[in-house]
Amino acid sequence: MDWCEKWRLAGLAIGLAPFVLALFAGTAAARWPRRFLAGAALAAAAVVVTFAATRPASLILWNGLRPAICDRMD
């Protein structure tokens, strides 16, 4: 696996982090049927917070570092 592929995977992982976190948070909170709305709210909050926290890093990896590394390898 070359550096270009590693940067692509890192950008993908950071980009998918909000959705994975929301899946786990929603699943954990929804185990209590009476608190389904609380679980949905927790999952939505987890998506928003994690997306806001990871989006700059994902953009830097995907739009900044990846082309700089991958274009030199072609």
H helices within the chain, ranges in order? 3-29, 36-59, 66-73
Tokens at 51, concatenated: 């997306």
Residue pair 47/18 in contact (Cβ under 8 Å)? The answer is yes
Residue 66: the pLDDT is 67
Residue 7: the pLDDT is 72
Residue 30: the pLDDT is 67
Residue 32: the pLDDT is 63
Domain ranges across the chain: 3-73
Residue 6: the pLDDT is 78
- pLDDT tens digits, residue range 19-73? 787 777 777 766 666 667 777 777 778 778 877 877 777 777 667 766 766 766 5
- Residue in 68, 73, 74, 72 with CA at minimum distance from that of residue 11: 68
What is the pTM (predicted TM-score) of this model? 0.49
